[in-house]
Amino acid sequence: MKTVRLTMAQALVRYLTAQKTIIDRKEVPLFAGVFAIFGHGNVTCLGEALEPAQDELPTWRGQNEQSMALAAVGFAKAMKRRQIMVAAASIGPGSTNMITAAGVAMANRLPILLLGGDTFASRIPDPVLQQVEHFGNPTTTVNDGFKSVTRYWDRIVRPEQILASLPQAVATLLDPGDCGPVFIGLAQDTQAEAYDYPEVFFEKRVHRVPRPRPDADSVREAVSLLRKAKKPLIIAGGGVHYSGANEALAAFAGKHNVPVAETINGRAVLVHDDRMNVGPIGVVGSTSANALAGDADVVLAVGTRLQDFVTGSWSVFGEDTRIVALNTARYDTVKHRAHSVVGDALVGLEEISEGLTDWRAPDSWAKRGVKEYKTWNALVDRHSGPTNAEVPSYAQVVGAINRICDPTDLALTAAGGLPGELCKNWRAKSTGTFDCEFGFSCMGYEISGAWGAKMANPDRDVIAMIGDGSYLMQNSDIYSTVLTGHKLIIVVCDNGGFAVIDRLQVAKGSKSFNNLIKDSRIKEHVQVDFQKHAESMGALAETVHSIGELEQAFSRAKKADRTTVIVTKVQPHTWTPGDAWWDVGVPEVSKRKEVRAAKADMAAGKARQRVGV
């Protein structure tokens, strides 16, 4: 067997560059690039290996390990899991900074390869710089912290170990049912060690993401349940996007006359005006989708993990509602006594449709969906339509951008008040134009994730909508986008703090406390000049004072040659209605009558909860 002598780090890079995939009938690299911040734990070996490979595996320098890993997550989501980015960090805090991003990828079932520097396998120099020592277990390092937020975890302490580890890592990243983040710790001395690797290990391999077909018996049972339904409802999740099943879903719903509600991650699986669309469902959903869910007798849940914001903490369905769960992940198909159909969304919908033949849900039920959706859209019009208000609401900002954006523009957000207001008020002009990271609801994803999404789709504008709280947490990738030329349009909505959590706090009976800046322990209330801050990082920026000014600024941003930040004040206490009930902890004992009243309301809500067994 022919061999080639390489360091472990060199072999790792060579293996990554040999992996290919097919996208739109074209062969492209499976690993599109590496986000890296170098330190003593990876610069001399992994950095040495990456430098000559730049043409095949470009390296991008981030400003923070968490933000660059979030950019990798945004890239994977925009690519619908068909292409993957790597994020590499040094030992200690550099590596642990990526744990939050790993949690985002884990919750959202998105592929990312994380390479963290580690301590010395030999232990001779211990304790090394940035090593946290565990007195009772010297094999433990801070990288063990990734075990709770990764699908595959390994530590390389011998150079030949990558021969077994890397194929398993790639298989996990591409597995439709087990997809998620992969972490590999790279011992510092092992990165430098040479080994005679078999040349066949580095041969080009073209990967294709499989489409697992569901079991025929489970399909037949799903068909039987749907045929008996008088009020069926489809709940479409992010798995529809990942499967590329948008057209199949629209065809299924139209052929069988079944209304479709969208999860947060499933927003824009249908265009807004699709006749079977009844809007977003759940806690930040629509009155239309929630009303139909409450009366549905059979729910076909496609590509969704049925998170509590979708199910209203399992209060939006009736106790007798039957759930048919179609998902590549077996774990997601057995929740709440669901009939399990383990398989790809696209082929699963096709096979269930074939079994249903010409069956259609009653016209009266479909017409109910149209009526409820019309009422909901009228409400959205009232909340997000044009206004002369001096300080607009979130909804009015979202509505203004939505009215004038291009059909292919991607709206992106993550945390605070914007997920609810975007989910409710954004009207998708084309499919795949919405990214709300709400699986982990990670403050700080907005700008970094948008950077990755722009890398994935350089020919369309990415609109990152972010609150002042999230902006202050993670904004340095404004500078990254200016440096790399990945232009974003960033809309900063300043409501004076963490207003949506203040809303929840007050709604459950507490006083406003430690959320809005004015209600926090401060010496003086200093206003942040977000415009100057963004300009200091090389972006174009302007502050607007009305919806009219916002629209004009957005038009200028569309024409600009670089990232543009638009800053606007928004109302901190004005929200679009439509929410379902949400289960949160409310104190059983309190001196405040408002808290006691909220506890009584929560008890009434719990009485409507669907039992999960």
pLDDT digits (tens, 9 = 90+) for 3-60: 999 999 999 999 999 999 999 999 999 999 999 999 999 999 999 999 999 999 999 9
- Prior bond of 127 cis (ω within 30°): yes
Does 457 share its domain with 332? no
Closest CA relative to residue 289, chosen from 372, 349, 175, 362: 372
The structure tokens 């075990």 sit at: 147
Strand order across the 462-467 sheet: 434-436, 410-413, 462-467, 489-494, 564-569, 540-544
Residue 580: inside a domain: no
Q: Is 276 helix (H, G, I), strand (E, B) or coil?
A: coil
Give alpha helix (H) positions in 322-440.
330-333, 345-356, 363-384, 394-404, 418-425
pLDDT band for position 612 (50/70/90)? low
**Placement of tokens 């039992």 in the chain:** 611
Q: Does residue 400 fall inside a structural domain?
A: yes
What's the domain range around 144? 3-207
Q: Are residues 193 and 243 in the same domain?
A: no
Mean pLDDT score, 103-108: 98
Q: Where are the alpha helices (DSSP H) in 385-491?
A: 394-404, 418-425, 445-456, 468-473, 477-484
Considering 172, 207, 242, which residue would you say is the last residue of a domain?
207
Whether 260 maps to a domain, the answer reads yes
Dump strand ranges (E) for 203-276.
Answer: 205-207, 232-236, 260-262
Res 239 pLDDT > 90:
yes
Whether 425 contacts 416, CB under 8 Å: no
Helix 65-78 / helix 477-484 crossing angle, nearest 10 deg:
60
How far apart, in whole angstroms, are the C-alpha atoms of residue 162 and residue 176? 23
By the 8 A CB rule, do 305 and 395 touch?
Answer: no
Q: Are residues 287 and 265 in the same domain?
A: yes
Query: Residue 574 falls within a domain, yes or no?
Result: no
What's the pLDDT at 471? Answer: 98
| pLDDT value for 611 | 79
Residue 18: give its domain's CATH number.
Answer: 3.40.50.970
Pairwise CA distance, residues 225 & 222, whole Å:
5
The number of distinct structural domains making up the chain is 3
Instruction: Give whole-number Cα distances, 32 to 8, 136, 207, 208, 209, in Å.
Output: 21, 41, 14, 15, 16
Same-domain check for residues 254 and 306: yes
Residues 498 and 515 in one domain: yes
Q: Is residue 482 part of a domain?
A: yes
Separation CA 17–CA 28 (nearest Å): 10
Q: Residue 103 corresponds to which amino acid? A: G
Q: Are residues 551 and 476 in the same domain?
A: yes
Question: Shortest CA distance to 291 belongs to which of 353, 190, 371?
Answer: 371
Predicted confidence at residue 613, as pLDDT, reads 56
Question: What strands, in cross-sheet order, belong to the sheet with 339-342?
Answer: 277-280, 260-262, 232-236, 298-302, 322-327, 339-342
**pLDDT tens digits, residue range 526-570?**
999 999 999 999 999 999 999 999 999 999 999 999 999 999 999
What pLDDT was estimated at residue 319? 87
Instruction: Single out the residue in 328, 346, 375 at which a domain terminates.
Output: 375
- Are 187 and 121 in contact by the 8 Å Cβ rule? The answer is yes
Query: Are 143 and 14 in a shared domain?
Result: yes
Note whether 198 and 220 are same-domain residues: no
Stretch among 34-38, 146-150, 164-168, 317-321 having the lowest mean pLDDT: 317-321
How far is the C-alpha of 338 from the C-alpha of 346, rounded, in Å?
A: 19
Beta bridge partners of 88: 36, 115
Note whether residue 463 is domain-resident. yes
Q: How buried is 448 (Cβ within 10 angstroms: 0-12 exposed, 13-18 middle, 19+ buried)? A: buried
| Residue 610 within a domain | no
> Is 601 a member of any domain?
no
Per-residue model confidence as pLDDT tens digits over 418-436: 999 999 999 999 999 999 9
DSSP conformation letters of 194-232:
EEEEEGGGGS-EEE----PPPPHHHHHHHHHHHHT-SSE
Q: How many residues in the chain?
A: 613
Q: Residue 319: give its domain's CATH number.
A: 3.40.50.1220
Looking at this protein, which amino acid is placed at residue 546? S
Helix axes 287-295, 363-384, angle to 10 degrees: 150
Residues 25 and 28: their CA atoms lie apart, in Å, by: 9
549, 569, 589: which is the final residue of a domain?
A: 569
How far are the Cα atoms of 103, 271, 441, 489, 538 from residue 476, in angstroms, in the given order? 20, 33, 19, 15, 11
Say whether both 123 and 223 belong to one domain: no
Bridge partners (DSSP) listed for residue 197 = 4
Per DSSP, the chain holds a count of helices (H) and strands (E) of 24, 23
Please report the sign of the dihedral spanned by the C-alpha atoms of residue 329, residue 331, residue 332, residue 337: positive
* 221 shares its domain with 299: yes
- 494 and 519 part of one domain: yes
Mean pLDDT to the nearest integer, 350-372: 98
The one-letter amino acid code at 122 reads S
| Same domain, yes or no: 173 and 57 | yes
| Element housing 345 (H / E) | helix 345-356
Interval 244-270 mean pLDDT: 98
* Coil vs helix vs strand at 593: helix
- Provide the percentage of residues in the chain whose pLDDT is more than 90: 97
Residues 576/396, Cβ–Cβ less than 8 Å: no
Residue 129's contacts (CB-CB under 8 Å, 6 or more residues apart) are: 40, 91, 92
